[in-house]
């Protein structure tokens, strides 16, 4: 499955991988299925999350194996429900349940590398506007189940057609062109291949159905700008790095203003800076305040500034997106609601800092925001999420009330790994899911402007300064996915759990019957 994800983007391999796993698990005892599921999970997560190795191979391996542990119940469940009729549906529902659990537990979950995020530019993508990422995962897994069913039934029909029945008499030779004898002992006809053909026809119907779903991309035009200032060379001291990152974004914004005055670029109505564009607290550091304020006044429109700020008590840090007005300065702001465990805050701090000295590099925890990121930015309301919050259905759905969506991110640590392109893929799916233009602003890349239908309007390279200006549609209409919310995920999960209960009950009944006999 992992080559289906960016940067390889071999998207058809996702359902093929699901099919292979089902074939490996079908007919196994649940305990065997669980361990085979774990092995499959390790084989998937280790390569797909290789970008985590940038912070240390131990963290990458541990996180990958923890994620693989969620395939233990998935493997056991698939081995059970494949004993039921209609098992491609039940196995697909179990995939949704696995992703629901993985995306919520523990510490708020880690929903990276969901099946849906491999299908962000395929015929299945438009289904996101109906049922969000869970529906796309379900359909991807369902296609995998149908492929497995077609393989099983087709192979059975082929072997039966190729092998005479053991008690059948040897067929006499007949001249060419004459029919072979038929009867109760004759080999199966082509009708034996109908189930396999039906499964493949269902796969084609699901793919074709996605192409018929409308993905509107019209709306009130708004000219926007995304600034990627880039990060400085390695070797600077910590304070020097922070100052250089801010200076880079200030400089690129001044360059934008100069190009607008020269007429080489249209004047934007709003500008977006990335997460951590200023690691210097502009509320307490006059130099940072003046630098940001000067750049905003120069461009003359509101700028969404990503900055780290101290909490009032000075004990924690807030990861903010601040609306900075050219006349009134900093105003409304959004605080990241889902800080990264073991990265932006440290659970079990007293114990872990004694066992792992590297965690001393997190001297203070990031505070968790408590309110939505919908804010007025120039002529529109924007919905802001920060960094890997884009992977969470609830966080993005909550801000989809905005006319534009914004993802502020800092991918410098994971540059030139699989993680930045995977994050862009998530943004593309979210654009279709909510029918919104998405502005992705990254310190070092990948920054992008994504249309409401998932098309890439602009995309930056990594580790270069970049400036993106475009007229994009601002939209207010809601998709069906917005209206139904989390219901599809919970309904499909319940469907999978119900199938497990039914399969377990059937197994117990069979065991009792065998004991009685």
**Residues annotated as part of the active site:** 275, 336, 387
Largest CA distance in the chain: 99
DSSP state for residue 183 in the 8-state scheme: S
Supply the DSSP string of 293-359, one letter for each residue.
Answer: HHHHHHHTS-EEEEEEEE-TTSSSEEEEEEEEETTTEEEEEEE-SSPPBTTTB-TTHHHHHHH-GGG
Q: Is the dihedral of CA 474, 250, 424, 94 positive or negative?
A: negative
Long-range contacts of 229-232 (CB under 8 A, 24+ apart): 229/273, 229/274, 229/277, 229/443, 229/465, 230/443, 230/444, 230/445, 230/463, 230/464, 230/465, 230/466, 231/412, 231/443, 231/444, 231/463
Rounded Cα distance between 59 and 262, Å, is: 49
Q: Which of 92, 90, 210 is nearest to 500 (CA)?
A: 90
Tokens found for residue 191: 């009708």
Count of CB atoms within 10 A of residue 14's CB? 26
Rounded Cα distance between 83 and 5, Å, is: 30
- The residue written with tokens 């006999």 in the block is 517
Rounded Cα distance between 352 and 356, Å, is: 6
Q: Are strands 303-310 and 317-325 parallel, antiparallel or unpaired?
A: antiparallel
- Residues composing the chain: 517
């Amino acid at each position: 499955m992992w080559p289906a994800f960016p940067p390889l983007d071999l998207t058809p391999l996702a359902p093929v991988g699901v099919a292979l796993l089902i074939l490996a698990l079908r007919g196994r005892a649940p305990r065997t299925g669980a361990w085979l599921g774990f092995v499959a999970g390790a084989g998937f997560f280790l390569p797909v999350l290789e970008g985590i190795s940038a912070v240390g191979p131990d963290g990458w391996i541990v996180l990958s194996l923890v994620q693989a542990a969620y395939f233990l119940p998935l493997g056991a469940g698939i081995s059970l429900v494949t004993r039921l009729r209609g098992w491609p549906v039940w196995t697909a529902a179990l995939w949704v349940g696995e992703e629901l659990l993985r995306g919520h537990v523990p510490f708020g979950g880690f929903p990276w590398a969901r099946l849906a995020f491999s299908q962000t530019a395929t015929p299945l993508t438009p289904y996101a506007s109906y049922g969000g990422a869970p529906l796309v995962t379900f359909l991807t897994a369902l296609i995998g189940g149908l492929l497995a069913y077609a393989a099983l039934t087709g192979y059975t029909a082929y072997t039966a057609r190729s092998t005479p029945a053991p008690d059948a008499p040897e067929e006499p030779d007949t001249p060419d062109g004459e029919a072979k004898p038929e009867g109760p002992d004759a080999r199966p006809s082509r009708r034996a291949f109908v189930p396999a053909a039906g499964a493949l026809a269902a796969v084609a119907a699901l793919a074709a159905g996605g192409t018929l779903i409308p993905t509107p991309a019209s709306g009130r035009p708004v000219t926007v700008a995304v600034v990627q200032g880039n990060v400085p060379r390695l070797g600077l001291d910590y304070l020097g790095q922070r100052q250089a990152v801010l200076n880079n974004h200030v400089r690129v914004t001044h360059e934008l203003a100069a190009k607008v005055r020269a007429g080489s670029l249209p004047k934007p109505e709003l500008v977006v800076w990335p997460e951590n564009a200023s690691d210097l607290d502009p509320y307490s550091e006059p130099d940072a305040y003046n630098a940001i304020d000067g750049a905003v006044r120069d461009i003359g429109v509101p700028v969404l500034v990503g900055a780290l700020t101290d909490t009032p008590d000075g004990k924690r840090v807030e990861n903010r997106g601040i609306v900075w007005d050219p006349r009134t300065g900093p105003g409304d702001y959004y605080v990241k609601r889902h800080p990264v465990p073991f990265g932006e805050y440290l659970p079990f701090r007293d114990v872990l800092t004694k066992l792992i000295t590297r965690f001393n590099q997190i001297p203070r925890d990031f505070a968790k925001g408590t309110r939505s990121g919908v804010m007025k930015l120039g002529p529109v309301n924007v919905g802001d999420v920060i960094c890997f919050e884009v992977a969470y259905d609830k966080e993005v759905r909550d801000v989809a009330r905005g006319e534009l969506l914004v993802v502020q991110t800092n991918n410098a640590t994971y540059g030139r790994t699989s993680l930045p392109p995977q994050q862009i893929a998530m943004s593309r799916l979210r654009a279709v899911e909510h029918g919104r233009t998405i502005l992705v602003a990254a310190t070092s890349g990948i920054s992008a402007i994504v249309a409401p239908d998932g098309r890439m309007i602009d995309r930056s390279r990594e580790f270069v300064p970049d400036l993106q200006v475009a007229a994009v549609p601002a939209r207010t209409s809601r998709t069906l996915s917005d209206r139904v919310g989390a219901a599809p995920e919970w309904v499909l999960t319940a469907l999978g759990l119900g199938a497990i209960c039914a399969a377990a009950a059937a197994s117990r009944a069979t065991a009792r019957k065998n004991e009685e006999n």
